Amino acid sequence: MAVALVMAWLLWCVWLYWRARRAQPCANRGGHTLVAYASQSGTAAALAARRARQLEVEAGEASVNLLPLNQVSRQTLLAARKAVFVVSTYGEGEPPDNGVRFARQFLRPALHAGGAEAGGQINPALDLSHLSYSVVALGDSAYAQFCAFGRRLFEGMAAMGAQALAPLEQIDSGQIAAVPDDGSEGGEAGNRFWTLTARTLLNPGSPGAPLYEVTLSACGPLPTWRAGDIFVLQPRNAPEVVSAWLSARNLDGDLWISSQQSTRQLRDWLSERDLSTVAVESSELLRGDFSALPMLPAREYSVASVPREGNLKLIVRQQMQTDGGLGVGSGWLTAFSEPGARFAGRLRHNNNCHTIDHTPPMLAIGAGSGLAGLRAQLAERSGCASAGPAWVVFGERSETADCPLALELDNWLTGGVIARCDRVFSRGEVTGKRYVQDVLTGRADDVQAFVARGADIYVCGSRSGMGESVHRALAAILGEQALEALMAEGRYRRDLY
């Protein structure tokens, strides 16, 4: 009898111990390292992937979990021991699309209910006191809300009781070096030279700025990319660009390049000529080696073609600066250089904007140079026999002069790649003034039915000029929550700039 009682007591103790262990968050028993990113155009995703690899290789952290921020759940946070966040900021201080759900689910309650704004109490909904974390915030100091989402995330984690491993790290986007590509999340296909092979004006006679289709061929093997990826033009690697840019301003580029002055003197030389935006960072310049110099900020363009076409196409609007000169990147691509010119650039993979499966229908919305992203998606679909129907809604300015790629779009319409194409014009000389969001609102039933059939929504173009109005129209048609759910599922993808 006594033995039976001891056995029962022992079993009871074992059960109590097992229950206590189960109730403990995994983190207390070791846990993994989480690397989470929120990124609109791939830079933060690429940096996060690099950070995850470093942690695995250098720090020997076996289980590094790399996730977009929206996929970080309560369980993920409770199971992690350490979290590294790499996030950019969009809109006016807002999270990128793949961080919107996380911000609503965790940061809003933490910062508004019990956290920093309520005297530093831990948000009772989620106690992350087991977790240590760091935040790398990417932004652009030209924006008033510099790195605002990173700051909010940093504060929100503290409000949930997590322990900061380091102060918030803020990175100005111009300072970000190229991130090597390993074909995983984010990443970049290495810098290489490209040759300008063709340039076509797409809107002769337009009241707006000239829009060009620019075709580049790779020097060496063509790298691979997907529709949705970004081309990063590197003016810093092209001495010709610098010379052309300077001579377009009646400055003597050769004098600068062949100068034997010190870096400091060069800096003064540039600032005397009101070129203070040009950073001369290294004496490499004195040797005429531009490859290591962050001399001019890189310019980014949505890729308009797919590798199957054999070359890289961009659709570039010529930018005019306040001094009347052309923008550095668009000036070089559309005016300063002649076919045959060579310059450096790299591709940045932007998983956010990839279409994983072309079988479902697609509602492709864009305006102006946003045609680049739409064209790449359509070109990719044209090579996919099982692609679902695409409904294109495209906006431009003048009905008589702004019909870029009209023939190609018509051919895709005839060939069935496009099932329906609504072209609208803000001046609408013949059919009346209409914007893309007007088409969506006017066809709200069709939009609902298309999405109910499983359609993805892809938007490309200017954020303030189009993207925000389209977002408001879609939210009114589909409901805010449904739209957020589509975003979180990767079915509402936006390439906005």
Ligand X SMILES: Cc1cc2nc3c(=O)[nH]c(=O)nc-3n(C[C@H](O)[C@H](O)[C@H](O)COP(=O)(O)O)c2cc1C
Residues that bind ligand X (CB under 6 A): 39-44, 88-93, 96, 138-140, 143, 145-148, 173, 463, 496-497
* Minimum CB distance to ligand X smaller for 210 or for 465: 465
- C-beta of 137: minimal distance to ligand X in Å? 8
- C-beta of 77: minimal distance to ligand X in Å? 22
Q: Percent helix, strand and coil across the chain, each rounded to 5? A: 40, 25, 35
* Minimum CB distance to ligand X smaller for 81 or for 299: 299
CA distance 386 to 130: 48
- C-beta of 60: minimal distance to ligand X in Å? 27
- C-beta of 494: minimal distance to ligand X in Å? 10
- C-beta of 326: minimal distance to ligand X in Å? 20
**SS3 state of residue 200:** strand
Tokens of 464: 């303030």
- C-beta of 142: minimal distance to ligand X in Å? 8
CA atoms within 13 A of residue 149's CA, in its CB half-sphere: 31
CA distance 282 to 269: 15
Q: Which of 475, 470, 497, 472 is nearest to 373 (CA)?
A: 497
Residue nearest to ligand X (CB): 139
* Minimum CB distance to ligand X smaller for 41 or for 369: 41
* Minimum CB distance to ligand X smaller for 143 or for 269: 143
Report the Cα 216 to chain-centroid distance in Å.
Answer: 22
- C-beta of 281: minimal distance to ligand X in Å? 19
* Minimum CB distance to ligand X smaller for 25 or for 139: 139
* Minimum CB distance to ligand X smaller for 32 or for 236: 236
- C-beta of 260: minimal distance to ligand X in Å? 36
* Minimum CB distance to ligand X smaller for 244 or for 296: 296
Residue in this structure with the two tokens 């600066």, named with its chain if needed: 321
* Minimum CB distance to ligand X smaller for 137 or for 405: 137
Q: From start to end of 210-255, where are the E strands? A: 211-218, 230-233
Residue in this structure with the two tokens 């040797």, named with its chain if needed: 287
Q: How many CB atoms lie within 10 A of CB 386?
A: 8
- C-beta of 474: minimal distance to ligand X in Å? 18
Q: Is 293 exposed, middle or buried (0-12, 13-18, 19+ CB in 10 A)?
A: middle
Q: What is the DSSP string of 171-194?
A: EEGGGPPP-B--SSSS-EEEEEEE
CA distance 188 to 181: 4
- C-beta of 203: minimal distance to ligand X in Å? 23
Residue in this structure with the two tokens 């570039």, named with its chain if needed: 316
* Minimum CB distance to ligand X smaller for 412 or for 492: 492
Cα Rg of the chain, angstroms: 26
CB burial string 334-359: b at 16+ within 10 A, e below: bbbbeeebebbbbbbbbbbbbbeebe
Q: How many CB atoms lie within 10 A of CB 415?
A: 9
* Minimum CB distance to ligand X smaller for 90 or for 391: 90
